[in-house]
Amino acid sequence: MQRKSILIGSLYFLLFSFLFFLFSYFFVSNDDSPSGWGAQDKIALIRVEGVITDSRKIIQELRRYRKDPNIKAILIRVDSPGGAVAPSQEIYDELIDIQKEGVTKVITSMGTVAASGGYYIASATDLIFANPGTLTGSIGVIMELTNVEGLLQKIGIEGITIKSGENKDVGSPFRKMTTRERALLQSVLDDVHGQFIEAVAQGRSLEIETVRKLADGRIFTGRQAMAVGLVDEMGSLQAAIEKLAEMVGIEGEPHIVETKEKTPLLEFLEARFWGSIQNTKLPISSIGMHYLFSF
């Protein structure tokens, strides 16, 4: 009798967990608009916050919203100092594809900071809003390395490197960098910097030489950025929402859709019942890659 009660209780728990997962997945994690599924003329809000290290989540949101007929426009809220090069470029490319498609309007609202990789992403949208005191720009690339050779000699430690190619240990912290190696790394950074300049010129419809003059790594306030053509309008997040609604012909207060972060319980249930939905990947380390350049 007791075993039967435990079994029934377990079944009820599993059923409750499953129903809770469905409720959370469809009503909590995807849409916080007050009118739920039936709402029309929505604006999707996507946040790019903190250091940019991965593009997957942002690209998934962009693709989901651009396919939703109820989403009339997308607002990117950038509050980021930049980050890794490749993820910034991947998000930029996705936004350029949306621009070329010409169906969904996408604009950017800048928060406290939208610099380097954050600006890279913003430049691919139809319009950029910034606050007067927003810090933006920083169109440049940086690589920072450390040489601990002197410290190791003082404490009696010798760094030993075994390599398969002449340039495999370029940037090694165990020895001084040669002039040739510095030139090699500089050529890599110059190429990525050129890609950054070309991307901004394309996204902002500016001449490459115009962008190049501004692309020395300096930062601008929002007001300064507007004066040199890197930003279109001054205004808050709400001002950007109102402008975007006007651009796509939404009358009255638009419904704002924003993907919520999943709770640990929801993530557990999703993995339990819909593990195949999530394509979780393990981080992969590159042997010998001990330096990183970033926007």
**Two structure tokens written together for 240:** 């950007």
Chain centroid offset of residue 122 CA: 10
Asked if 164 is an active-site residue, the reply is: no
CA distances 291 to 138, 183, 195, 205, 288, Å, are 21, 16, 20, 33, 9
Longest dimension (CA), the chain: 82
User: What H or E segment, with its residue span, contains residue 119?
Assistant: helix 117-122
Asked if 116 is an active-site residue, the reply is: yes
Identified catalytic residue from 29, 116, 138, 172: 116
CA distances 177 to 142, 160, 201, 244, Å, are 17, 15, 34, 51
| C-beta of residue 214 within 8 angstroms of C-beta of residue 119 | no
Identified catalytic residue from 10, 35, 163, 168: 168
Q: How many CB atoms lie within 10 A of CB 256?
A: 16
User: For residue 220, what are the β-bridge partners?
Assistant: 136
How many residues belong to the chain? Answer: 295
| Amino acid at the residue 221 | T
| Active centre residues (catalytic) | 116, 168
